[in-house]
Structure 1
Amino acid sequence: MRFRYRLLIILSVGACAPMLPPPPEVSVGTATGPIAPVQERPYLADGPAAPDASGFEAWKQGFLARHGGARREAYERELAGLTPDPEVVRLDGNQPEFSRPAGAYVQNAASAARIAEARRRIGAVPSSVPQRYGVPAEILVAIWGNESSFGQVQGNKDVIRSLATLAYDGRRRDWAEGQLRDALNIVVDGRRARSGLLGSWAGAMGQTQFMPDNFLRLGVDQTGDGQVDIWNSDADALASAANLLAEAGWRRGQTWGYEVALPASFDYEQADGPTHPWRWWAARGVTLARGGAPNSAEALEDAAILLPQGAAGPAFLALPNHYVIRRYNNSVSYALAIGLTADGVDGKPGLVAAWPNDPPLSLNQRIGAQRALSAMGYDTGGVDGVVGANTRAALKRWQAANGRIADGYLTASLADELGRM
């Protein structure tokens, strides 16, 4: 069990890449990271085709021409001798937030052991950080635990090689080239030695897994020693995460959301989309699962109903802070895991509803469903194997047109059914 837990953390590290500024629910059909147009690429039976090393040098020269400028010689020195990393391409196509059922991901990421350890570690959050940025310490330790197991698993890949591989692979080239340029600048400007610029397969760095652009813009020297060290300083890492969330619009005095109970008459087409104040949802029979009501500030906010595992699973009222967490990692499962971990640290009880025990979807099932929906005129925003908001919206339209419960949830059996069409 210890090995399985550590493996889950390692897989999660690369997928947890803090990001700004894409807004929530904008073209969320791609893998974790800043949102970019999806570009289809060849797939093998067990995942994306391995990168072709023969074309890497040509891409590199193009990158230097596009981004080198006055620093071309310095960039070229750091890129010398690099080859693409096939493991990066494989992991990019199989991120756990998107490939596993929400319940399986959340129950592992927000486990009782994780909550207990986060509660034990909460004293590491400097008292001035929540006061300055308005982000609760419970949220910060939840992110810290999920991103790097409290600094223990930060990733040991060469960030520059990982980002060069993602840029060369081409699915998110513009984003990856921008991140690569920033990573090179970190080294060239002397902010971090190349040997210490280590992180995940996605280029996320340090205890709170910052992408290079956010390290440069939002990294905080909390200790006052003249450098931002998110690798070795708990204080710097946690303050940087708080700064990122505050910049993304964290609402002071508000939580991320609540578990809710839906009436039998609930219109499932209203889920995962329209936002309304609490009084609008309450008038349609929605109640908080454990009773009560949101506080006065929360009740005035526009909120959505989320069904991360369809009509058969738990339902949530997602307040604006849920979407702020998704600016850190644009995954419903990730944001729920952070919110529920923070709730547990704060002593709140667990969920009322149980998660369905759905099997995970294979990459071929996800791709097959996207291709089938697209062929029938239900645009998924691309065929990338990531079941994001675009794919769920397309599925919801197909379900409504075919007399199904329009909850936008893709089960393995439904994926197989679509794949046969």
Structure 2
Amino acid sequence: MRSRFSLLLLLSVAACGPMLPEAPPAGPTTAPLPGAPAPSTPAPAPTTPAPAGPADQAGFDGWKQGFLSRHGGDRATFYARELEGLTPDPNVVRLDGNQPEFSRPAGAYIQNAASATRIAQGRRLSERVPFAVVQQYGVPTEILVSIWGNESAFGQVQGNYDVIRSLATLAYDGRRRAWAETELKNALDIVIDGKRERAGLKGSWAGAMGQTQFMPSTYTRLAVDQTGDGQIDIWGSDADALASAANLLAQAGWKRGQSWGYEVILPSNFDYTQAEGPKHKWSDWAARGVRLAHGGSPNQLEALEDGVILLPQGARGPAFLALPNHYVIRQYNNSVSYALAIGLTADGIAGKPGLVGTWPDDAPLSRDQRIGAQRALTAMGFDTQGVDGVIGANTRYALRRWQAANNRTPDGYLTADLADELIRRGG
């Protein structure tokens, strides 16, 4: 029975894999939000890479010397000791450079992440969240359990890469060198300061660690020793991992007594240019004909907050009122789809009813379609602020303006058919 349960957990996490646009990063992000782009997490490659060759090692050794000069300071000797004999991991380079050819629509991602299986598992494991953690940080049990399940299948899928080797490889490879070197320095400090033995510093290929998938810099700033045993063990201790996640959200501004948001029903005459843009209090949205999908109204605290209407799959899909706590979740992972998946999973764990709206069965977008649509929009005078194949806020804003100018519903949602049309029109 245990092996079958473990397999279900593994499949559940695999189904919640990375997606574009706005792919979830490898671990909690500390970038200012909302609106800051997050690094994407590429899909794993099935092949086994060959060992690094002599030329790679020579370049890697040269990078190590530069790293020690830039970041070593009075710890250079200790850093050199931990990096001695280290070789770059070709698999990490491969994973970091691999971009998925196709990206799933938001609904496909969210439905897999907030699956009935994960919700049922979360309900069973909710008792593992210490009551003292909820009381101290004000983050509800169901939110913490949802993050726990989505990040590591409730601790069962944490990654077994040597975090220091992974981050050194990413820094040497150079695509995100400044970020990787900062994380590497923090990982080295964790070992040198005796917070975790090197052999136990394991995580994802991108350096995210433990049951809550913290990056080393997040661990050093925000991880918590909830058990009081003198060790912050987000790998083996549920209590430490969950308290650490709660502390991250609390420090990011979690508002006690408030939800992340609600599914809403939009009126037939809704001005779609208002989506993902202006913030309004609930009374203003209600005056525009917006209503909660399950009736009623937000509570008194929520009604005082500014909310944003989100349309993750356009006018044909479910609509949501995103409250401030939605953006707090995005401090953990800067992705609209990720934050909605966490919120909807948490709602299910708490016993709230499911969605009223249904997700359209849209075809995935190829990378050529995403890039081609961005180029076409920019060529036609609707600047996407870059051509990178990531359909983020800037691209959706440009698309809304094009849709409005061409008498289309300006919901900012790019379908495969619309991408093909834009490419034809843009020449």
Go from structure 1 to structure 2 and tell me whether the alpha carbon gap of 1:176 and 1:388 turns closer, same or farther (over 3 Å shift).
farther
Q: Matches of 2:399 and 2:169 in 1, distance apart? A: 32
Aligned partner of 1:240 in structure 2 is 244
Cα displacement (A) at 1:106: 0.7
Give the superposed CA RMSD.
2.6
Which runs of structure 2 are paired with 1:95-244 in the superposition (5 Å)?
99-244=103-248
Amino acid aligned to 1:173 = R
Does the CA-based 8 Å contact 1:92-1:202 persist in structure 2?
no
Q: Matches of 1:393 and 1:130 in 2, distance apart? A: 38
- Aligned-residue sequence identity (percent) comes to 67
Structure 2 counterpart of 1:90, from 84, 89, 95: 95
Structure 1 counterpart of 2:396, from 392, 404, 409: 392
Aligned partner of 1:408 in structure 2 is 412
Does the CA-based 8 Å contact 1:88-1:165 persist in structure 2?
yes
Q: Matches of 2:267 and 2:200 in 1, distance apart? A: 54
Does the CA-based 8 Å contact 2:25-2:334 persist in structure 1?
no
Q: Matches of 1:385 and 1:365 in 2, distance apart? A: 8
- TM-score, with length taken from structure 1: 0.88
Cα displacement (A) at 1:10: 6.5
Does the CA-based 8 Å contact 1:381-1:390 persist in structure 2?
yes
Aligned length: 402
Aligned partner of 1:18 in structure 2 is 28
Go from structure 1 to structure 2 and tell me whether the alpha carbon gap of 1:111 and 1:16 turns closer, same or farther (over 3 Å shift).
farther
Matched, 1:353 2:357: yes
Q: Residues 274-299 of structure 1: CA distance to partner in whole angstroms, max 9, x if unpaired? A: 11111111111111111111011101
Cα displacement (A) at 1:341: 0.8
Structure of larger gyration radius: 2
Cα displacement (A) at 1:273: 1.7
Name structure 1 gaps, 5 residues minimum.
34-50
Aligned partner of 2:40 in structure 1 is 31
Go from structure 1 to structure 2 and tell me whether the alpha carbon gap of 1:213 and 1:88 turns closer, same or farther (over 3 Å shift).
same
Please say which of residues 130-139 and 167-176 is displaced more in the overlay.
Answer: 167-176
Name structure 2 gaps, 5 residues minimum.
1-6, 43-51
Does the CA-based 8 Å contact 1:84-1:161 persist in structure 2?
yes
**What SS is found at the alignment partner of 1:384?**
coil
Which runs of structure 2 are paired with 1:290-301 in the superposition (5 Å)?
290-301=294-305
Q: Matches of 1:418 and 1:86 in 2, distance apart? A: 37
Cα displacement (A) at 1:101: 1.1
Does the CA-based 8 Å contact 2:227-2:240 persist in structure 1?
yes
Matched, 1:281 2:285: yes
- TM-score, with length taken from structure 2: 0.87
Go from structure 1 to structure 2 and tell me whether the alpha carbon gap of 1:405 and 1:56 turns closer, same or farther (over 3 Å shift).
farther
Please say which of residues 306-315 and 199-208 is displaced more in the overlay.
Answer: 199-208
Which runs of structure 2 are paired with 1:299-314 in the superposition (5 Å)?
299-314=303-318
Does the CA-based 8 Å contact 1:64-1:75 persist in structure 2?
yes
Cα displacement (A) at 1:55: 4.6
